[in-house]
Amino acid sequence: MKRRQFLTLAASTAGAALLPQCASKRAVETLPQYFTSTDGLLDVTLDARYGAVNLANQRPFLLSYNNQVPGPILEAHPGDTVRIRLINHLTAPTNLHYHGLHIPPVEKGDNPFLEIPPGETFTYEFTLPENHPAGTFWYHPHKHGLVAEQVFGGLSGLFIVRSDLDQIPEIQAAQEAFLVLKDFEIDASRKIAPPPPIFQMWGREGQLITVNGQVNPNFSIPTDGLLRLRLLNASASRFYRLKLDEHPLHLIATGGGALAEPVELSELLLSPGERAEILVSGEREPGRYRLLNLPYDRGVTEMMNGMIERGMMEPRVDSAPQTLATFSYGDRVDPLPLPKQLIPVEPLPKPTQVRQFTLNHGIDHQTSAAFLINYKGFDPQRVDTSVPIDSIEDWEIINAASMNHPFHLHVHPFQVISRNGKSEPYRAWRDTVSIAGYETVRIRIHFKDFVGKTVYHCHILDHEDKGMMGILNVV
């Protein structure tokens, strides 16, 4: 869909479930392009380039797709063919990772080993399986060594798959909003400030925190109705601990798709790369309610405070709650209850193999890496883990250090079985899970449909670039 068509449609079908909705005029003006598939084909061009774009009422110089930060929202359905022409107008090689999609990891699919040189164009083409789950996925560059720089520079966008979850009557009737959470660090010359070396170890964070490229945008909750939030943490390293004033968060989907039934949360932790879908019930007094980012220690706070005290670092804004967005009540609608049932999440059978992956930092002299999995840094020539197709395995992810590491596996979704031996309170499909300092998380994976090489890694992108990644080969 072209931008103008979208704006016209958005104006004429305000509140329609299938279109992004925005409360303020400013928000509508700055919405990214929205491309949906037609007749089973999503056909899109993404132009990766460096230049001035609109962000937070400034015109900083960022990396963008189609001059927009965040990038265009892409939408497709199970069974659709997806064709994406990526034009590389950057000065460095790049590529695309389709984070969370269950598609072939080879050739023109979700291939992290591709390298598209500057000035060249590559056309991705793949088909979403007929049984692909509905969900909130995303795309971003995955060229090893450059991932943190390119994502932190602005490159990323949502990839929505609509299916059965979207046909549940209460969800179909809900208003929908997209919230891409992303931090930036912009210097006086309006350029991305290079992160201090210590932030490349911790994972780079910026102090300008945006939602859809805006500071504290407005969203509207339909009075008596439901607002569906699709949240993406598109930050390179920043975690978000989210809370909405006086409103519980009804979790309906995690990164891998729907839950069996809504789960009520008072707050939600979203690590880099993770997504969540939330229903907000418009049952409070009309007023203004803040979506807050509460302080969260991902294992670097003590080190950071120590450096600030010793005058080695400027004080940062992160230590107090920050307002990410403001929600106010809109038009009254017919009372809409929460859905009781969503999409079943079947338990996986017992595994035939258990493997252990230890996350740590140190030095791997072979690869000169500083961030390691099983004491090795990433080597593009080495297969770390071979798995037979159709097998079910438990992977124990052991964090042997004090910093959180969000563990991400491409292509093959998993269920979290336990944390430090304690069962998870509800079953969910995920592709990224945060492993806190010294924690062990057991995940269960059914490797099916696609053979080939892909990767697993830490989604603090500086850690991935510095070696915390391994190669999986499904054979």
**Which residues, other chains included, contact 285 with Cβ-Cβ below 8 Å and sequence gap of 6+?**
none
- The interface with Cu ion within residues 177-236 (CB under 5 A) comprises none
* DSSP-assigned letter for residue 166: G
Q: Is residue 331 within 8 Å of residue 224, measured between CB atoms? A: no
User: CA-to-CA distance for 223 and 5, rounded, in angstroms?
Assistant: 28
Nearer to Cu ion, 408 or 444 (CB): 408
Nearer to Cu ion, 79 or 437 (CB): 437
* Residue 392: CB minimum distance to Cu ion, A: 26
Token pair 């840094």 is found at 377
What values do phi and psi take at 4, rounded to 5?
A: -65, -45
**Which residues, other chains included, contact 188 with Cβ-Cβ below 8 Å and sequence gap of 6+?**
none
* Residue 222: CB minimum distance to Cu ion, A: 39
* Residue 463: CB minimum distance to Cu ion, A: 3
Question: Per the structure block, which two tokens stand in for 77?
Answer: 């359905």
# residues contacting Cu ion (CB under 5 A): 4
The number of beta carbons lying within 10 Å of the beta carbon of residue 189 is 8
Q: Examine residue 458 and tell whether it contacts Cu ion (CB under 5 A).
A: yes
Nearer to Cu ion, 84 or 403 (CB): 403
- Chain Cα centroid distance, residue 147: 14
Which of 76, 160, 181, 460 is in the footprint of Cu ion by CB under 5 A?
460
Nearer to Cu ion, 253 or 458 (CB): 458
* Residue 147: CB minimum distance to Cu ion, A: 12
* Residue 97: CB minimum distance to Cu ion, A: 17
* Residue 133: CB minimum distance to Cu ion, A: 26
Instruction: Please spell the DSSP secondary structure of 185-224, one letter per residue.
Output: -B-TTSBBPPPPHHHHHH----SEEEETTBSS-EEEEEET
Q: What is the largest CA-CA distance in the chain?
A: 64
Nearer to Cu ion, 179 or 359 (CB): 359
Q: Examine residue 436 and tell whether it contacts Cu ion (CB under 5 A).
A: no
Q: Examine residue 238 and tell whether it contacts Cu ion (CB under 5 A).
A: no
Q: Which stretch binds Cu ion (CB under 5 A): 215-223, 317-325, 436-444, 459-467?
A: 459-467
Nearer to Cu ion, 397 or 474 (CB): 397
The contact mask relative to Cu ion for 52-91 (x = CB under 5 A, - = no) is: ----------------------------------------
User: CA-to-CA distance for 317 and 304, rounded, in angstroms?
Assistant: 12
- The interface with Cu ion within residues 385-424 (CB under 5 A) comprises 405
Nearer to Cu ion, 83 or 376 (CB): 376
Nearer to Cu ion, 218 or 360 (CB): 360
Nearer to Cu ion, 23 or 401 (CB): 401
Nearer to Cu ion, 53 or 458 (CB): 458
* Residue 465: CB minimum distance to Cu ion, A: 10
Token pair 């805006």 is found at 214
Burial class of 7 by CB neighbour count within 10 A (0 to 12, 13 to 18, 19+): middle
User: CA-to-CA distance for 213 and 22, rounded, in angstroms?
Assistant: 13
User: CA-to-CA distance for 39 and 399, rounded, in angstroms?
Assistant: 46
* Residue 201: CB minimum distance to Cu ion, A: 10
The number of beta carbons lying within 10 Å of the beta carbon of residue 227 is 23
Residue type, 362: G
* Residue 210: CB minimum distance to Cu ion, A: 23
Q: Which stretch binds Cu ion (CB under 5 A): 97-105, 107-115, 155-163, 455-463?
A: 455-463
Q: Which stretch binds Cu ion (CB under 5 A): 9-17, 170-178, 297-305, 452-460?
A: 452-460
Q: Examine residue 463 and tell whether it contacts Cu ion (CB under 5 A).
A: yes
Q: Is residue 248 within 8 Å of residue 265, measured between CB atoms? A: yes
Nearer to Cu ion, 44 or 443 (CB): 443
* Torsion, CA 358, CA 359, CA 361, CA 363, rounded to 10: 50
Q: Which stretch binds Cu ion (CB under 5 A): 189-197, 251-259, 373-381, 458-466?
A: 458-466
* Residue 184: CB minimum distance to Cu ion, A: 20
Q: Which stretch binds Cu ion (CB under 5 A): 168-176, 305-313, 374-382, 450-458?
A: 450-458
* Residue 397: CB minimum distance to Cu ion, A: 11
User: CA-to-CA distance for 15 and 114, rounded, in angstroms?
Assistant: 40
Q: Is residue 61 within 8 Å of residue 192, measured between CB atoms? A: yes
Residues that bind Cu ion (CB under 5 A): 405, 458, 460, 463
